[in-house]
Amino acid sequence: MIDFNNASFMKLKEVQTAEGTNLVAPMLVDGEEVLHTFKTIRDMVIFTNKRIISVNVQGITGTKKDFTSMPYSKIQVFSVETAGTLDLDAELTVWFSGVGKVKFEFKSNFDISAFNKLLSNYIL
């Protein structure tokens, strides 16, 4: 489960969408599709057209996983920060009604502006 008092995903690297689709396919609802999949060393964040799914891989073997679903309908505010000269990572911060905020930090080669536009289509 995400600790919304200290929820932060650092250094997310985009991976093939199929990797996220294969993992969450059994829990997707009708009409839901994976848009982007990101990975840290073990954990994943999957953006669909309806929600953000956080996958927290647990244990030594990594077979136990915690899936947290954060629907776009519960987003009150979101913010993007583009990469700069010294700070090469882009950031997305999302505030969810009733639970708090989650911060996603993407590696520098990710186009956060285009991603902002894509998410805006589903959030607004």
The token duo for 83 is 């990469």
CATH number of 7-123, picked from 3.40.50.300, 2.30.29.50, 2.60.40.10, 3.20.20.140: 2.30.29.50
Whole-number pLDDT of residue 86: 62
State pLDDT tens for residues 91-118: 999 999 988 889 998 987 788 999 999 9
Domain ranges of the chain: 7-123
Greater pLDDT, 100 or 37: 37
Q: What tens digit of pLDDT does each residue of 49-93 get?
A: 999 999 988 888 888 999 999 999 999 999 999 876 666 788 999
In the predicted model, is pLDDT for residue 24 greater than 90?
yes
Answer yes or no: are the C-beta atoms of 44 and 37 closer than 8 Å: yes
- Sign of the Cα pseudo-torsion (23, 25, 26, 32, in order): positive
pTM of the predicted structure, to 2 decimals: 0.88
| Per-residue pLDDT at 27 | 96
The pLDDT of 30-53, averaged and rounded, is 94
pLDDT beyond 70 at 8: no
DSSP, collapsed to helix, strand or coil, labels residue 50 as coil
